[in-house]
Amino acid sequence: MSRLRRVELHWPTDNTVLAGEENYFTLLRGDTVHVLASRCPHRGGPLRLGAVQDGRLRCPWHGNSFRVDRLCARGVPAIQRGDRVIAYVPVEDQETPVASNTLIFAE
């Protein structure tokens, strides 16, 4: 049975969450940090490794792109307090979500 569980990220150092076999990633839009599911709706590709351009996030697997505003609207519940982001991600009963910093961005 799936339920939401709290995870705290130290923003911007932490930029991903692993919850069971699901990955989530942070995306800064304006002044708001969103926490989004990484699984691409097309065939499950890693959206966290995609690139944002012109308001769209392009999946690295097949190149489909998705409107960032729509992705953010479907993000998990998250609250930002200074350098902390508290998010609630779906997990199975025995799973504990873990924040990490597995994304490295090129300058």
Segment interacting with ligand FES, rule: CB under 6 A, options 1-9, 55-63, 81-89, 91-99 = 55-63
**Which of 3, 6, 10, 43 touches ligand FES (CB under 6 A)?**
43
**Which of 27, 37, 40, 57 touches ligand FES (CB under 6 A)?**
40
CB of 57 to ligand FES, least distance (A): 10
For position 10 contacting ligand FES by CB under 6 A, the verdict is no
The HSE-up count of residue 98 (CA atoms within 13 Å, CB side) is: 8
CA 16 to chain centre: 6
Angstrom distance (rounded) from CA 95 to CA 103:
22
CB of 86 to ligand FES, least distance (A): 28
Binding site for ligand FES (CB under 6 A): 40, 42-45, 59, 61-62, 64
